[in-house]
Chains A and B, each alone.
Chain A
Amino acid sequence: MAENTVLKLSGLSKRFGSVVANDDVSLTLVKGEVLALLGENGAGKTTLMNMLFGHYLPDAGTVEVADANGVLHALPLGHPQAALAAGIGMVHQHFALAENINALDNITLGSEPLRSLKRNRAAARAKIDGIIERSGLKAPLDVPVGQLSVGERQRVEILKALYRDARILVLDEPTAVLTPQEADTLFSNIRSMITDGLSVIFISHKLREVLEFSDRIAVLRHGRKVGEMATTDADEAKIARMMVGADTPKVARQEMSPGAPVLSLKNVSVSGRSQRETLDNVSLTVNANEILGVAGISGNGQAGLAQLIAGLVQPSSGTIAVDDEDIPKPTPSRMVQAGVGRIPEDRHHEGIVGAMSVAENMVIERLDDPDIQSLGLLRREAIADNAVKLAQAYDVRGPGVDASARLLSGGNIQKLILARVFERAPRLILANQPTRGLDMGAAATVGRRLLEARARGAGIVLISEDLDEILGLADRIAVIRDGHLTEAPTNNREQIGLMMAGAAA
């Protein structure tokens, strides 16, 4: 066992200001194994891997890496160059690719001396072709990376690491942007690389893929390692308990019969500036007491659908009606007046005004309400009272309601938005990626609030790239692909995945 250890992290700690990101974390990796690193958002997974790769300098602790002969050496910390030289490759969650150059150039970047006047592209290409053949990671090499699909970009990232002769591969949430099928392909590629002598650490919070594809699981919580187990000994409940530190309340969803239509789109097209904003002849109905889940790979028109319902774009053809009332020229204020509540995708930029206080953000959609202002002057006391009340009811935690909203954590910003939206008892709720980037506790709160609104009689459009979330909450599911919306079965993950990929109608 000991001589098979390829990586040994001992006592790594890192603070950012007063926040402890990692506290005395130790971890070992054995040759040829797939280790899953699990934890909620903010548990310190990415920080730990960034220390390993030299992006961050740890405050304490050591990293040892085995050389090609299996002998452990201490790794100089804080230098990506040293980590690369020691055979560590990292695939970041946000791809570190230059989009204006092709895959070949991205892969060879930094491995050739900058002084030389000529490049040996033929040799580089031969080496990459060899790696592609062995690993099955296919990607076009001569097209600017900006034109590649997300899956292809990810393969380029892995090729980058393998080109540098990585023996240890770190993948940060590799499947976050992939369809279920692409994810399966990725993991089978990883399997074939393992037989080539590679060892893999992957970060995830999708329990399903962790259980299916890893050999061993390590769980982080609040920056500390709280558990480690062989995957064969693990099950979902056990891991979830370890991640959260307690049993998560399962979101209870009761069956309901849908009421009258709240939103109906008839043959609506939107000509957006890009594919992600374009809709092509979409018809859909959302009823009261109903959640419609919109699944799809990012960039297939979700933004267009969200902007349409929020009143940010005009349809180029077709009609949109809220509560059976046609809205000929939708604008944001007209949609809000018609009873639409919006939970935007980019909560930091579109959901709040960061420089304004939490209290002001809570009333920002009803500044014409006489409770909030009289004769154009804001009633500060009423605003403060409202904020204290809502912060309590929705459990918005932070430095206080007078503090700038940008000081809140992502989860608390989302709770602020929920408070603002739900207090107006909207007829229709547009929830665009409402739990992206939230930890399990905060995500469960969002789910519970959406179900409460449904029980109250609201219709909800839930746009999400997390299929598990949609399967757990939605009454009906539609798949968006290339701006088209297609009704999907509610219980067939496989078929929804194929529809997302455009493989079957």
Chain B
Amino acid sequence: MMDLLNILLSESFWAASLRIATPLIFGVLGALICERSGVLNLGIEGIFVVGAMCGWMTVWLGSGLWGGVLVAACAGALFGLLHAILTVPLGLSQHVSGLGITLFATSVSYFTYRTALPNVSSPPRIEPFQALDIPVLSDLPFLGPVLFQQTALTWLALLMVLLVWYVLQRTALGVAIKAVGDNPDSVDAQGLSVYGLRIGAIVAGSALMALGGAFLTMSAFDAFFFGMVNGRGWVCIALVIFASWRPGKALFGALLFGAFDALQVRLQTEMGALVPGQIFLMAPYILSIIALVIAARSADYPRALLTPWFKGQR
């Protein structure tokens, strides 16, 4: 019991939680934007892989780190555009299209990686983002190590939470996105383009998802591995429901999951002799499912989620 308390009070635990949460924050925000406009994007898992691969490879080919981030976002946006074309004007099943995008994007990423590096056994490394050492603030007790020694991408993720919240809550664009996810007819009747709003939301959301992937290869690690995304995309899909489609709650959900994950790593080392390690690996997912079951009962789904809309059909 004392051990648990020690873990929860340690700076490294909270720093790790925030670090683990960062890709999830990008992913949840991306999925949230798509779903707020009424379209589920199950391509998220594959878009994570694309973002991880493109970001890493751009830097490996000689670009700067931010160049890699930009390329990752653009690649994600491109796959988002494909999903948008299939599901919005063509109105195909969002589930089928999304899963297809995940399979396609994952395979294309692996293929590209293997084609570029046919004969390497250990993945080549890049110089990743370093902790942003902010003078004075970094020296604060507790908060300093937790908050002010994260990389620039973590700060970008937190900034994105604010940005997405501001757009949804305070701008005409945000109102239109929320409206098109609730009742596309309301948007159409006011002379706005349902297709334009939805396609735009999916493209922007997918770019954010890809940043989550880029964080893995450019900040958390320094190389690209097969299977490194490891279901993070699916976790984001669940977290959106947990967050009730709100950016603030999305941040909270991602942090909660990050904390579960950081905790299981530490408990594993503390108590590994008593309990099989797999139990700890499962723990964050089991806890997420429990949290989701509780939260989803009162979830307020965007009413038009999953429903295609066609111009001229009322």
What is the interface of chain A, defined by CB distance below 8 A to chain B? Answer: 50, 55-57, 79-81, 84, 90, 92, 94, 96-101, 105-106, 108-119, 160
Are B183 and A98 within 8 A (Cβ)? yes
Q: Which of B170, B175, B183 has the most CB of A within 10 A?
A: B175
Are B186 and A106 within 8 A (Cβ)? yes
Which of B170, B172, B182, B314 is A98 in contact with, Cβ under 8 Å? B182
Complex CA distance for A84 and B168, rounded to whole angstroms = 25
Q: Which of B172, B178, B300, B314 has the most CB of A within 10 A?
A: B172
For the residues of A in contact with B, the DSSP-based class is loop
User: What per-residue 1/0 map shows which CB atoms of B171-187 lie under 8 Å from chain A?
Assistant: 11101101111110111
- CB neighbours (8 Å) of A115 from chain B are 173
Q: Could you list some 5 contacts between A and B, CB below 8 A?
A: A55-B188, A98-B186, A105-B179, A118-B170, A119-B170
- CB neighbours (8 Å) of A100 from chain B are 178-179, 181-182, 300, 302-303
Are A99 and B312 within 8 A (Cβ)? no
Could you tell me the distance in whole angstroms from the C-beta of A396 to the nearest C-beta in chain B? 27
Stretch at the interface among B68-76, B101-109, B153-161, B189-197: B189-197
User: What per-residue 1/0 map shows which CB atoms of B242-258 lie under 8 Å from chain A?
Assistant: 00000000000000000
Complex CA distance for A62 and B302, rounded to whole angstroms = 39
Are A101 and B185 within 8 A (Cβ)? no
Beta-carbon nearest neighbor of A100 in chain B: B182
- CB neighbours (8 Å) of B188 from chain A are 55, 80, 96
Are A116 and B314 within 8 A (Cβ)? no
Could you tell me the distance in whole angstroms from the C-beta of A12 to the nearest C-beta in chain B? 16
Beta-carbon nearest neighbor of B302 in chain A: A100
Q: Other than the known A114-B176, A118-B170, what 18 A-B pairs have Cβ atoms closer than 8 Å?
A: A55-B314, A80-B190, A94-B185, A98-B179, A98-B182, A100-B178, A105-B179, A108-B175, A109-B192, A110-B191, A112-B172, A114-B172, A115-B173, A116-B171, A116-B172, A118-B171, A119-B170, A160-B190
Are A109 and B175 within 8 A (Cβ)? yes
- CB neighbours (8 Å) of A81 from chain B are 191
- CB neighbours (8 Å) of B175 from chain A are 101, 105, 108-109
Complex CA distance for A57 and B188, rounded to whole angstroms = 15
Are B314 and A50 within 8 A (Cβ)? yes
Complex CA distance for A160 and B171, rounded to whole angstroms = 19
Residues of B90-135 whose CB lies within 8 A of A? none
- CB neighbours (8 Å) of B185 from chain A are 92, 94, 96
Are A113 and B182 within 8 A (Cβ)? no
Are B179 and A109 within 8 A (Cβ)? yes
Complex CA distance for A118 and B167, rounded to whole angstroms = 9
Could you tell me the distance in whole angstroms from the C-beta of B310 to the nearest C-beta in chain A? 12
Residues of B43-91 whose CB lies within 8 A of A? none
- CB neighbours (8 Å) of A57 from chain B are 312
- CB neighbours (8 Å) of A160 from chain B are 189-190
- CB neighbours (8 Å) of A80 from chain B are 188-191
Could you tell me the distance in whole angstroms from the C-beta of B186 to the nearest C-beta in chain A? 4
- CB neighbours (8 Å) of A99 from chain B are 182-183, 303
Are B171 and A96 within 8 A (Cβ)? no
Beta-carbon nearest neighbor of A109 in chain B: B190
Could you tell me the distance in whole angstroms from the C-beta of B185 to the nearest C-beta in chain A? 4
Beta-carbon nearest neighbor of A57 in chain B: B312
Size of the B side of the interface (Cβ < 8 Å), in residues, is 25
Could you tell me the distance in whole angstroms from the C-beta of B289 to the nearest C-beta in chain A? 24
Q: Which of A50, A97, A114, A117 has the most CB of B within 10 A?
A: A114
Which of B173, B186, B187, B312 is A56 in contact with, Cβ under 8 Å? B312
Could you tell me the distance in whole angstroms from the C-beta of B200 to the nearest C-beta in chain A? 9
Are B176 and A110 within 8 A (Cβ)? yes
Beta-carbon nearest neighbor of B301 in chain A: A100
- CB neighbours (8 Å) of A96 from chain B are 183, 185-186, 188-190
Could you tell me the distance in whole angstroms from the C-beta of A275 to the nearest C-beta in chain B? 18
Beta-carbon nearest neighbor of B183 in chain A: A98
- CB neighbours (8 Å) of A113 from chain B are 172
Complex CA distance for A80 and B314, rounded to whole angstroms = 14
Q: A55-B314, A115-B173 are in contact. Are A101 and B178 (CB under 8 A)?
A: yes
Are B190 and A84 within 8 A (Cβ)? yes
- CB neighbours (8 Å) of B190 from chain A are 80, 84, 96, 109-111, 160
Are B171 and A109 within 8 A (Cβ)? no
Could you tell me the distance in whole angstroms from the C-beta of A464 to the nearest C-beta in chain B? 25
Could you tell me the distance in whole angstroms from the C-beta of A485 to the nearest C-beta in chain B? 31
Beta-carbon nearest neighbor of B173 in chain A: A114
- CB neighbours (8 Å) of A84 from chain B are 190-191
Beta-carbon nearest neighbor of A50 in chain B: B314
Are B314 and A109 within 8 A (Cβ)? no
Could you tell me the distance in whole angstroms from the C-beta of A11 to the nearest C-beta in chain B? 21
- CB neighbours (8 Å) of A50 from chain B are 314
Q: A92-B185, A99-B182 are in contact. Are A110 and B192 (CB under 8 A)?
A: yes
Are B189 and A92 within 8 A (Cβ)? yes
6 pairs of A and B residues whose beta carbons are closest in the complex: A110-B190, A98-B179, A81-B191, A96-B189, A112-B172, A96-B185
- CB neighbours (8 Å) of A98 from chain B are 178-180, 182-183, 186-187
Complex CA distance for A483 and B234, rounded to whole angstroms = 43
- CB neighbours (8 Å) of A111 from chain B are 190
Beta-carbon nearest neighbor of A164 in chain B: B190
- CB neighbours (8 Å) of A97 from chain B are 183, 186
- CB neighbours (8 Å) of A119 from chain B are 170-172
- CB neighbours (8 Å) of A55 from chain B are 188, 312, 314
Could you tell me the distance in whole angstroms from the C-beta of A368 to the nearest C-beta in chain B? 37
Beta-carbon nearest neighbor of B179 in chain A: A98
Complex CA distance for A301 and B2, rounded to whole angstroms = 57
Could you tell me the distance in whole angstroms from the C-beta of A457 to the nearest C-beta in chain B? 44
Could you tell me the distance in whole angstroms from the C-beta of A193 to the nearest C-beta in chain B? 19
- CB neighbours (8 Å) of B173 from chain A are 114-115
Complex CA distance for A335 and B222, rounded to whole angstroms = 69
Could you tell me the distance in whole angstroms from the C-beta of B171 to the nearest C-beta in chain A? 6
Complex CA distance for A319 and B302, rounded to whole angstroms = 39
Could you tell me the distance in whole angstroms from the C-beta of A336 to the nearest C-beta in chain B? 34
Are B186 and A109 within 8 A (Cβ)? yes
Beta-carbon nearest neighbor of A111 in chain B: B190
- CB neighbours (8 Å) of A117 from chain B are 171
Complex CA distance for A136 and B11, rounded to whole angstroms = 61
Could you tell me the distance in whole angstroms from the C-beta of B51 to the nearest C-beta in chain A? 27
Q: Which of B171, B176, B183, B303 has the most CB of A within 10 A?
A: B183
Q: A84-B190, A99-B303, A119-B171 are in contact. Are A106 and B176 (CB under 8 A)?
A: no
Complex CA distance for A84 and B192, rounded to whole angstroms = 11
Beta-carbon nearest neighbor of B190 in chain A: A110
Complex CA distance for A377 and B198, rounded to whole angstroms = 50
Q: Which of B181, B300, B312 has the most CB of A within 10 A?
A: B312
